[in-house]
Structure 1
Amino acid sequence: MDYEKIADEVSKKIYSYSQDTTGWKKLKTSRDVLVSWKSSNDYLGSMKQVCLFLSSNPRYRGEGIVEETPERIIPFLYLPEYRSKWDKALESYSIVEQVNKDTFISQSLTHSYGMGLISPREFIDLIHVKRYDGGVITTNSISVECAKCPPSTSYVRGYNNPCGYICSPLPENPAHCKFVVFIQPELGGLLPRSVVESALPNNVVGLVNDVRIGLKKYLP
């Protein structure tokens, strides 16, 4: 598997999402985080069958302001010494293979949620960090196969279609940044539609706020 080629392709996808400003439908605003969605043509998975109010496979976008610079936020998002502390959705998180300086493979094991209706999931993701002009930094990821992480009977194997974080410094206050999250997961298994519909937007809000809280608590 050509991980570097995949990393380049998913980075282009996430950048194209960041430039796409039309057709987004507001789902909710909570704790200064706006969550929107639009149909995605990038996957044909089970999400189409488990979402009541979405006409096709959804791409979720969450956005808010974070009081830090991209250079400090981005490592905080993916390095295990930080991620395992701030991300409340995860039972464990580790980097299982380094592809190159800016590209690696991670294993994420989630807690159950939705009052136990969604059992623990495992995601094996290729992650690539990319820098752009103007101080913008992104993480770009997609689920991949990895020989070091065969499927486990203890976790349902989920799949992340192109997803990532985009950190852009605010021109009026470079010490803060606009923080944007894109997710479009396939959770796998048989799930109640109502649980999925409520869980994913809430998870986006929780993630942004976990980052905000974690930065103040754990970043020196």
Structure 2
Amino acid sequence: MDYKAIAQQTAQEVLGYSQDTSGWKVVKISKKVTVSTKTSRKFQGNLYRVEGIIPEPTAKLSDFLHHPGNRISWDKSLKVHNMIHRIDSDTFLCHTITQSFAMGSISPRDFVDLVNIKHYEGNICIISAQSVDFPGYPPSSNYIRGYNHPCGFVCSPLSENPEYSKLVTFVQTEMRGKLSQTIIEKTMPSNLVSFILNAKDGIKAQKTSRRGFHPNTLSSFQKKK
């Protein structure tokens, strides 16, 4: 499987989604986060667009979002998020297991996604992802294997304040199993709003922990010891 070629194609598709301004229907606005949707061209479901403003410069925001080691510390929708294979410095495979949601009516799913980080003019960063087959992580009987059609994050500087970023997230997830599309459509917008709010909280917590760390603390402790 040519993972690099798939990654390039996925990045282009996500870029195309970000430039597509027609046909979106707003389905939820909450706490300055807007969720819009249109029919997916990839499967019998929806493509979701989620927009919010994050108080972080674009470079730091993109690092925060794509770092697998940090993800479960702030993303409450996940219980596992591990990098399982690195292809190059900007392309890798991740294995993800979600939490159950919709009061347990949607059981955990697992995904194997090809993730790519690509930078564009104007300090725009796209972190794209698409589910792929990977021999090291075949489907198991423990979880229903879901499938993410081209999705990802588009991070760009806020024109009026470059210390803030506009984050646009695209999601088109095929849950599989025996779920009705109605349940998914009812629960997805609220979950997507929560994702943006959780990211904001995670960035705030990270800043707080950085402010609380002083390089001289360890040396002072060692002297006392």
TM-score between both structures, scaled by the size of structure 2: 0.90
Instruction: Name 1:52's counterpart in structure 2.
Output: none
What's the CA shift for 1:58?
A: 1.3
What's the CA shift for 1:191?
A: 1.2
What's the CA shift for 1:215?
A: 0.5
TM-score between both structures, scaled by the size of structure 1: 0.92
- Evaluate the alpha carbon distance shift between residue 110 and residue 146 of structure 1 in structure 2; reply closer, same or farther with a 3 A threshold: same
Instruction: Name 2:108's counterpart in structure 1.
Output: 120
What's the CA shift for 1:22?
A: 1.0
Question: Any idea what the Cα deviations from partners look like across 1:162-184, whole Å, max 9, x if unmatched?
Answer: 00000110121000011100000
Q: Distance in 1 between matches of 2:38 and 2:72?
A: 30
Q: Distance in 2 between matches of 1:32 and 1:188?
A: 31
Question: Any idea what the Cα deviations from partners look like across 1:172-201, whole Å, max 9, x if unmatched?
Answer: 100001110000000010114432112211
Instruction: Name 1:54's counterpart in structure 2.
Output: none
Structure with the greater alpha carbon radius of gyration: 2
Instruction: Name 1:191's counterpart in structure 2.
Output: 179
Identity %: 40
Report how many aligned residue pairs link the two structures: 208
What's the CA shift for 1:35?
A: 0.3
Q: Distance in 2 between matches of 1:4 and 1:193?
A: 32
Instruction: Name 2:7's counterpart in structure 1.
Output: 7
1:23 is the counterpart of 2:23: yes
Say if 2:69 and 2:81, in contact at 8 Å, map to a contact too: no
Instruction: Name 1:179's counterpart in structure 2.
Output: 167
Say if 1:84 and 1:92, in contact at 8 Å, map to a contact too: yes
SS at match of 1:195: helix
Greater shift after overlay, 17-26 or 184-193? 184-193
1:63 is the counterpart of 2:51: yes
Deviating beyond 4 angstroms after TM superposition, the runs of 4 or more aligned structure 1 residues are none
State the one-letter code of the partner of 1:198: K
Say if 1:82 and 1:218, in contact at 8 Å, map to a contact too: no
What's the CA shift for 1:115?
A: 1.1
Instruction: Name 2:37's counterpart in structure 1.
Output: 37
Q: Distance in 1 between matches of 2:69 and 2:98?
A: 17
SS at match of 2:153: strand
Q: Distance in 2 between matches of 1:70 and 1:18?
A: 16
RMSD: 1.0
Give 5+ residue unaligned stretches, structure 1: 49-56
Give 5+ residue unaligned stretches, structure 2: 211-225
Q: Distance in 2 between matches of 1:213 and 1:120?
A: 23
Question: Any idea what the Cα deviations from partners look like across 1:111-165, whole Å, max 9, x if unmatched?
Answer: 1111111111001000000001111111011000011111111111000000000
